[in-house]
Amino acid sequence: MVLSAYISCNVHVVHLPRVSTWDAIVCDNLSREKTTGIKEKKLLAKVGFSAPEVFTNGLELGNL
């Protein structure tokens, strides 16, 4: 994977049937700007999630 090579680590992916669980629904909603609503933004704010700088820098530069 390009991502694992970029950040020099192993990435383990667990595939779930699409929108089969609560966390799969949240992840699916967060994967598109148009489906990321108030509920998802409040959830992220509540848990204090922030992406590591290496991800945000790579995304801003178009490298990831």
Tens of pLDDT, residue by residue over 24-63, are 888 888 889 899 999 988 888 888 777 778 777 766 766 5
Q: Both tokens of residue 4?
A: 């694992």
Are 30 and 24 contacting, i.e. CB atoms less than 8 angstroms apart?
A: no
Do the Cβ atoms of 63 and 56 come closer than 8 Å? no
| Angle (nearest 5°) at CA 49 between 1 and 15 | 40
Q: How many residues does the chain have?
A: 64
How far does CA 22 lie from the centroid of its chain?
A: 15
CA–CA separation, 55 vs 19, rounded Å?
25
pTM for the whole structure: 0.49
pLDDT attached to residue 22: 86
Confidence (pLDDT) at 1: 58
* 3-29 pLDDT tens trace: 677 777 788 888 877 778 888 888 888
User: What pLDDT, on the 0 to 100 scale, is given for residue 28?
Assistant: 87
